[in-house]
């Protein structure tokens, strides 16, 4: 099969955002939202007296408000992510955010009045079928009662966020999007340099790592200042809202108790021997005494494998079809109807994500395609998010999305199914070892590395609150300390790597987010194990889980697929699955004769 340069670069794979606005423009959506906010304001002072029918009517208006703001915000935000250099796109996004915030602050009273409704009356209302479309959202909102302020105070916090945390987060995004590297005489994006760390050639990996470190250096102090400012901003907000620990607000949003999250963290930290065993074995496979940090993602294959976009699309669609033709049919629409933006471009934001937009529309996938096998699995991963979003659309605006802790279930599941298809097509021992190694390293990155990053966040948030502003050396020391705890003696932390905390967006835009990756990965592996055990009989339950969106608590959603998220030992079972993959990698390495 002939692969063209355009196919390797996925250069023609761009999304079409115009249908997101429908027959209106951004200003029309904002005007409609403002008018609806006026309607909702008529209910001020009455929320505690409403019956189920009247409360349902108010919630329908709230849904319409969020629909209009969601369309305008998604359109402006997604346009900006593919070209953060374009001043017009940045200005449009900022204007939409400012006007949306002004509109949203007009209805803050509803959240406060609803939180003040007596428990008995609230539960009676929520039991009424007329409120089924928003019941879980309303019930969940009441958990914030101890952390809510007065209406004037809430309005001030929301208004100031536009020029506060949100603005700093945007600045960080623009700074990292503008980072370029000098690699082999070419000027390339940061993503491109990071992708070179999987090269089988150690000299190329070392050169790529040096280029990344050099590329991060010029703006390092500025990015550290942004991070310090956001650490202080969060500490201030947490103090005002009576959150005792820096992670508490994230756990609350995730509908997870502090105890359950700590149990997850402790379980993963207690098994740091898993990545250490793998990296010790990998050093043998690569023929080095000890890995350096830039060796961790090195392919153990004899040569790099490139995938064109067409081949990747076929692989992913076949994988989903092998599990559920219904899912494959929906996935096909992402490709056919321009719901994906794939190629790397100057100024494009790094990384990959799925944007849910609004339930009345459809999701979009964002990638930075480098034609690696990892990119194929990333496509399968983001497609899982997209399918989850699409199937949950019927839940409506209040229940389409899940807490972050369940958000990775469909993505990891889809990635795992795709990996299985790749394995089925691979028989040569060295090639199979390379595949297993790549999959295991994905597990390590998602479970162990994310928890190590959670430990880094814990250190820097605690330092900012107890000691004050962090110096560059403080960030570097905490990064090296928490990475070394995970890697042990198996991997050398080089001096340059001590600055690599500085391009990770999750620390900036969504503090505390990263543990949700480990949560979701271990949950998804357990769900996949159920599929392996039950085969086709499991598919209806899985589709029911996706279609349920966030209409139930995480524990209730877990029960749909026979997973007990309330059991602290649940994480031990998930980690056992990762260890089994490590054992498979160890056996595959022996099968090749490359280790004894």
HEC profile of 468-483: CCCCHHHHHHHHHHHH
**For residues 425 and 142, which has the higher predicted lDDT (pLDDT)?**
142
Q: Is the pLDDT score of 333 beyond 70?
A: yes
CB 84 within 8 A of CB 34: no
CA distances, 443 to each of 93, 278, 416, 439, 537 (Å): 35, 11, 10, 6, 26
18-151 CATH choice from 1.20.272.10, 3.40.50.10260, 1.10.3720.10, 1.20.140.70: 1.20.140.70
Q: What is the pLDDT of residues 204-213, one digit of tens each?
A: 999 999 999 9
pLDDT at 585: 93
pLDDT at 1: 52
CB 350 within 8 A of CB 174: no
The conformation of residue 64, written as its DSSP 8-state character, comes to H
Mean of pLDDT values over 374-388? 95
Q: Is the pLDDT score of 337 beyond 80?
A: yes
**For residues 70 and 442, which has the higher predicted lDDT (pLDDT)?**
70
Alpha-helix runs per DSSP H in 425-553: 429-443, 450-466, 472-487, 506-509, 515-534, 539-548
Q: Which residues pair with 181 in a beta bridge?
A: 188
Dist. CA 13–CA 161, nearest whole Å: 35
**3-state helix/strand/coil string of 132-166:** CCCHHHHHHHHHHHHHCCCHHHHHHHHHHHHHCHH
Q: Is the pLDDT score of 438 beyond 60?
A: yes
Residues 6+ apart with CB under 8 A from 329: none
Instruction: Look at residue 181 and give its three-state secondary structure.
Output: strand
Q: Where residue 435 falls among pLDDT bands split at 50, 70, 90? A: confident
pLDDT at 425: 82
pLDDT at 373: 85
Mean of pLDDT values over 64-82? 97
Q: Where are the beta strands (DSSP E) in 180-234?
A: 180-183, 186-189
Mean of pLDDT values over 437-450? 92
The residue ranges of every structural domain in the chain are 18-151
Q: Is the pLDDT score of 13 beyond 90?
A: yes
pLDDT at 34: 98
SS3 content of the chain, % helix, strand, coil (to 5): 70, 5, 25
Percent of the chain with pLDDT over 70: 99
The conformation of residue 347, written as its DSSP 8-state character, comes to T
Q: What is the pLDDT of residues 540-566, one digit of tens each?
A: 999 999 999 999 999 899 999 999 887
pTM of the predicted protein model: 0.84
CA distances, 303 to each of 21, 287, 561 (Å): 46, 15, 40
Task: Give the tokens for residue 206.
Answer: 């070392």
CB 314 within 8 A of CB 3: no
pLDDT at 303: 66
């Amino acid at each position: 099969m002939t692969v063209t340069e355009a196919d390797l670069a996925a250069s023609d794979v761009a999304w079409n955002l115009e249908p997101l606005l429908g027959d209106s423009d951004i200003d029309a959506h904002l005007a409609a939202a403002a008018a609806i906010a006026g309607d909702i304001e008529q209910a001020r002072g009455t929320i505690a007296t409403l019956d189920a029918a009247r409360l349902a009517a108010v919630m329908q208006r709230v849904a319409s408000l969020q629909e209009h703001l969601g369309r305008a915000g998604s359109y402006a935000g997604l346009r900006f992510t593919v070209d953060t250099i374009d001043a017009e796109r940045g200005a449009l996004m900022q204007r939409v955010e400012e006007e949306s915030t002004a509109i949203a602050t007009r209805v803050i009273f509803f959240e406060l009045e609803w939180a003040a409704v007596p428990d008995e009356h609230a539960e009676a209302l929520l039991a009424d079928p007329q409120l089924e479309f928003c019941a879980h959202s309303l019930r969940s909102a009441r958990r914030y009662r101890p952390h809510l302020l007065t209406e004037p105070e809430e309005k001030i916090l929301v208004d100031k966020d536009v020029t506060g945390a949100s603005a700093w987060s945007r600045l960080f995004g623009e700074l990292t999007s503008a980072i370029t590297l000098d690699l082999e005489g070419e000027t390339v994006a940061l993503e491109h340099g990071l992708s070179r760390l999987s090269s089988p050639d150690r000299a190329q990996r070392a050169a790529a790592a040096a280029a990344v470190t050099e590329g991060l250096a010029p703006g390092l102090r500025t990015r550290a200042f942004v991070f310090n400012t956001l650490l202080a901003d969060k500490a201030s907000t947490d103090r005002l809202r009576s959150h005792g620990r820096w992670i508490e607000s994230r756990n609350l949003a995730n509908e997870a108790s502090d105890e359950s999250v700590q149990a997850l963290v402790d379980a993963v930290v207690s098994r740091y021997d898993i990545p250490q065993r793998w990296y010790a074995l990998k050093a043998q496979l690569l023929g080095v005494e000890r890995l350096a940090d830039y060796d961790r993602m090195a392919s153990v294959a004899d040569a790099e494998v490139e995938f064109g976009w067409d081949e990747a699309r076929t692989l992913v669609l076949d994988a989903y079809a092998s599990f559920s033709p219904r899912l494959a049919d929906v996935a096909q629409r992402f490709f056919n109807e321009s719901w994906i933006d794939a190629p790397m471009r100057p100024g494009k934001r790094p990384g990959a994500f799925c944007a849910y937009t609004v339930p009345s529309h459809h999701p979009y996938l964002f990638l930075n395609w480098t034609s690696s096998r990892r990119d194929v699995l990333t496509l399968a991963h983001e497609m899982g998010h997209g399918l989850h979003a699409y199937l949950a659309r019927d839940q409506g605006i209040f229940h389409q999305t899940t807490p972050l802790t369940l958000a990775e279930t469909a993505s990891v599941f889809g990635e795992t199914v795709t990996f299985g298809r790749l394995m089925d097509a691979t028989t040569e021992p060295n090639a199979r070892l390379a595949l297993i190694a790549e999959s295991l390293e994905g597990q390590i990155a998602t479970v162990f590395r994310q928890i190590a990053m959670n430990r880094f966040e814990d250190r820097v948030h605690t330092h900012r609150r107890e000691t004050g502003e962090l110096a560059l050396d403080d960030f570097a020391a905490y990064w090296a300390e928490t990475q070394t705890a995970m890697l042990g003696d198996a991997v050398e932390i080089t001096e340059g790597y001590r600055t690599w905390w500085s391009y990770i967006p999750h620390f900036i835009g969504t503090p505390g987010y990263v543990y949700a990756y480990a949560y979701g990965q271990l949950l998804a592996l357990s769900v996949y194990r159920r599929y392996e055990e039950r085969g086709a009989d499991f598919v209806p339950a899985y589709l029911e889980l996706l279609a349920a969106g966030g209409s139930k608590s995480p524990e209730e959603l877990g029960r749909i697929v026979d997973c007990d998220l309330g059991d602290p030992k649940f994480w031990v079972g998930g980690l056992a699955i990762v260890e089994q993959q490590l054992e498979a990698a160890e056996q595959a390495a022996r099968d090749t004769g490359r280790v004894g």
